[in-house]
Amino acid sequence: MADETQRNARNDRLPIKLIMPKQGTERRVLGGGTPPAPFRDVDLQYRNRLSNQIGAIQEALLPQLKMTRAAPVRVKIMSKAAAKSHRPEKLFSDKSCPIIGAGRLGELFIKATPTGLEQLTQIIQNNTSDQITKELSCIESIEAVTPASRRHGLGAEDILCRSPRRRNGFITRVRLFSFGADDDHPALVANFESVCRERGIKLDQRGYSERSFIYAAECQTVADVEALSRIIGVRSISHMPLVRTIRPRMMNQQALPALPTRDAADADVPVVVVVDGGISDQIPALNSWVVGRVRDVSPPYDQNTDHGTFVAGLVCWGRELNPTVGGLDSGACAVFDLQVIPNDDPSRGETSALLESELLSSLESALQEHANKYKVWNLSLGTDAICSLDEFSELAEELDNLQEKYQVSFVISAGNYATLPLLDFPRTPGQIEVGRITSPADSVLGITVGSVSHVDYKTNGPRQHHPSAFSRHGAGPNYIIKPDLVHYGGSCSTDAAHVHGIRSVTDSGLAEDLGTSFATPLVSRTLAQIYHQITPTPSPVLARALLTHHARDPRSGTRVPDGEENFLGFGLPAAVPYCLECTPHTATLVFEDTLRPGYFLEWDDFPYPPSLKRNDKYFGEVWMTLAFVPTRGARWGSEYCETHIDAHLGVYRDRVSRTTGEIKRMFAGLVPPEHRNPGLLYEAYQVEKMRKWAPVRTYHGRLNENGERGNRWRLMLKLLTRHGIEKDEAAFKPQPFSLIITIADPEKKASVYDEVAQIVRNRFQAQNLTIRARARVQGKA
């Protein structure tokens, strides 16, 4: 706070430096690796077992293969062999049965044809090369996809009972396997559509992308569900999820105080699109902040705007309505009302429900018209589907597609746990699974928000700044960090007997309520400030990186400890303008560039302030945030993210050989990834503990108090890929990224900013991250 006071007193700001692209050195990644070594003995008995499994598949699938020519088959891989380097791509290739997808970690799907199965049998029985032997040793089993597995272990009757009823049937969600760009795939789709026509099952793909091969299927009977489960091209069948908001409680109601209004002529304000049940038009002060409305709910189901109004009030006046709650920025923020959720409260009139597919259709329609103008879309909504650790939800995947297509950011609530007793912190072992986030909080590109308590319960409830008892936790699928961030969404005891809500507006005045729904708009408004204040408008990747970079543990103001990121994410975001400025003792650099597979980018002699080097040793603190939009493939299940970036920042050191006396230059990383526990090399471990394949990673290094020896600093970034997507160089697009690096003097003595700025001026093409002049005045108001 002293630095901020000093900066305001000087009436200036220290801007972040944006390093122009194409200034790193691109170098080819050198090949290498050890000869293939099998994971187990591949003897005659083992080969015969796999051959017998192929024989059983041939017998089971032959009748259906006459109609579709090809069928998906499941292959289970031992966990040690899940890494890309061990994938059996010679065994399962175009010469036999190629890999066409993946499911859970260690689960592959191959395309089986009569000829391919025969060739695969020949390879298993007769090929004794080192590579094939090693790949065979990875295999646990090869088996047909069963109706039960398509239903994820549920009975057909269970699925029908859970499916929402519409018109003349029950709405299920069906997903087909995808063979990719393969001539045999259309026959798979045609067979599915033919069976549905014969049974009178109506199909609707509205809301889902064409290449997702996801359908709403209207079933009349259990037999219809069973028939869909037997179709060779069906990957999964489930009930169609319903999208809901929490039903507001509206406690401790009071008269509405005088609140700031917006002059209708002032259009230069950040805006959050509130995707909800509508915003009331009965509150004049709130009306002044509503810049537009779209009603996508038909009468009479459009009369309950309680939840959307409460959310909108927090976007517009979060700080004014909650003056005792910290971490809220004061910048002006308006809302756009996108009403998509019908009333589900019988006490408020006729009720209806919103299907997942209908939400997606409404979103796309609104995005087509408004995405260029409004970049932050608040989704304080969810489903009752607990997110899997193994696969991303269909809703999350489609939201990712929309965000990338329209270059916007969805801010999504983590979901609320409502079964008494509520969740403790630390969570008990039994609460870890039942308290996990719900779809679509597993969106990779979405920013998921959990809630922390703004009050202190000495017993039977969370301490101040700890996760709220109702706030659901991660990790997300593939162990990505979810929630991404937290904010204050109210609090209560674990028996719900004592409640302290967050305050916002209703038609009846001021009220309190609680839920991750109400932490979410507080993050949305900060993100909208970032988008609005930077000019030109930043990419969603850079905006997300800036939002994350200065997030901190609200309990301590420092980094979120390892092991607690699944409950607190990267922390509570810093208010604007702090996250867009430097201090005299810190310097922040932004790198926006692209990576190509097979190459790495290097910035040798990376700028480090001379005042943090004493007696040939470096001192200080460094933190980094790396964000990117990974290439994604929905057919790859837990391997949905197909690109990953490794970042390394450290120093070169001289090492003298004990035998020859030769001096060798060695690189030593000094800014390690956070939330990791290195030590094992298996892919499953790297995914879980090291957050491999995650779209946002943070790094932090506080140099030894005695200093770190080194010659000079070096930054290096490398791209990793899956599924051979890099082989088609013409189709593969280079991977863009945003990397933010802050160098700081923890003692707040060194002139870090001035020194780094001088080095940057001398050595790089760079510019200041430009902030609107008017926004600076608003930020200090």
Direct distance between the N- and C-terminal alpha carbons of the chain, in angstroms, rounded to an integer = 16
Vertex 558 angle, CA 553 and 563, to 5°: 60
Got the DSSP string for 326-364?
Answer: SS------EEEEEE-PPP--GGGS----EEHHHHHHHHH
Rounded CA separation 540/406 (Å): 10
Do 575 and 329 form a contact (C-beta atoms < 8 A)? yes
Rounded CA separation 583/748 (Å): 9
Q: Count of H helices and E strands in the chain?
A: 19, 39
Got the DSSP string for 464-499?
Answer: TTSBPTTB-B---GGG--SSSEEEE--EE-TTSSSE
For 99, the 3-state DSSP assignment is: strand
Amino acid at 90: K
C-alpha 182: how far from its chain's center? Answer: 30
The CB density around residue 141, as the number of other CB atoms within 10 Å, is 11
Amino acid at 355: L
Amino acid at 654: D
Rounded CA separation 38/16 (Å): 51
Active site residue 276: yes
Between the alpha carbon of residue 113 and those of residues 55, 136, 188, 526, the distances in Å are 13, 20, 12, 54
Q: Bridge-partner residues for 452, per DSSP?
A: 467, 488
Active site residue 439: no
From 236, 239, 235, select the one nearest 219 (Cα to Cα).
Answer: 239
From 775, 624, 541, 753, select the one nearest 17 (Cα to Cα).
Answer: 753
Active site residue 638: no
Rounded CA separation 499/520 (Å): 19
Find out whether the peptide bond into 248 is cis, omega within 30 degrees of 0: no
Amino acid at 79: S
From 317, 267, 758, select the one nearest 506 (Cα to Cα).
Answer: 317
Q: Bridge-partner residues for 235, per DSSP?
A: none
Rounded CA separation 156/221 (Å): 9
Q: 5: part of which helix (H) or strand (E)?
A: helix 2-10
Place of tokens 């400025």: 581
- Residue 39 CB burial class (10 angstroms; 0-12, 13-18, ≥19): middle
Rounded CA separation 376/362 (Å): 16
Q: What are the start-end ranges of the E strands in 484-562?
A: 485-488, 491-492, 499-500, 502-506, 509-513
From 367, 520, 547, select the one nearest 441 (Cα to Cα).
Answer: 520
Backbone angles phi, psi at 405, to 5 degrees: -65, -40
What does the DSSP 8-state code read for residue 180? S
* CA atoms within a 13 Å half-sphere pointing along the CA-CB vector of 249: 16
Place of tokens 């650099």: 589
Q: Which of 471, 517, 638, 738 is catalytic?
A: 517
Q: Which of 178, 212, 224, 276 is catalytic?
A: 276
Q: Which of 86, 185, 307, 466 is catalytic?
A: 307
From 275, 472, 482, select the one nearest 392 (Cα to Cα).
Answer: 482
Tell me the two tokens of residue 340.
């998509």
> Which sequence positions are flagged as catalytic?
276, 307, 517
